Amino acid sequence: MQKVLVLGLLGLCSLEDIKHRRLTVFYILMFGVVGIVLHLFAPVCSIYSILWGMLLGGAVILISVVTHGSLGMGDGILLVVTGVYLGGYGNLELFLTGLFLAAFCSLGLLAFKKKRQKDEIAFVPFLFVSYFIMLFRGI
């Protein structure tokens, strides 16, 4: 159940990030509340793991504030919520794989002159693909 919810959340946010270049925080927070309630009845990981996963999202929010939005605030809020579902290790893997995929794609776009160095790309679709990779690997 929780895997389907994370997949739905990332899919919804990916479409929104591609289309509008922003995320609706209300949907993300709704998924977060559902994740907390689900954890009360069917815990998947420890509360400490959840807190570590949420801390990663908090760090991304802090980076967003310090860099004046180079990495979006919505991305950080989304990672706080995925931390509730995936825990610390899972959320870290989601984030790092997403960063790797985004960097690889960005290099390709730069090499083929489809984007310039200062152009922005949507990050959430890379998290979506990263989660598919995690599901395929059986994590």
pLDDT in tens, 46-103: 999 999 999 999 999 999 999 888 788 999 999 999 999 999 999 999 999 999 999 9
> pLDDT tens across 31-41, in order?
999 999 999 99
DSSP code for 68: T
The C-alpha torsion from 86 through 14 and 114 to 72, rounded to 10°, is -70
The reported pTM is: 0.91
> pLDDT tens across 99-134, in order?
999 999 999 988 887 777 777 788 999 999 999 999
